[in-house]
Amino acid sequence: MKHITPKEVESFLKQNQSLNIIDVREVEEVATGKIPGAWNIPLGLLEFRMHELDKTKEYILICRSGTRSARATELLEGHGFSVTNMMGGMLVWEGIIK
């Protein structure tokens, strides 16, 4: 499983790099704030919505602490997606939230 730190994600965003971020937290959690541009697909729905994703793109998966996004990373990897887990999740995110 590939990992990325929140600081690395923040740095890429500050450089205006296009990132495909999927936030697997529940809708209520995301309502309190998310990384700008992140797409919310709760972990429980990910298996049913993976058809919406493009296997030619790379995705960064995030959650509150990094545990659910690790499970999501394993699920998507198993289906042939290129994915990276953001370690520590939103608990350690220091960047902008919307």
Which residues are identified as catalytic?
63
Q: Report the candidate in 49, 88, 87, 56 with the shortest Cα–Cα distance to residue 39.
A: 49
10 Å CB burial of residue 90 (0-12, 13-18, 19+) is buried
Tell me which amino acid residue 28 is.
E
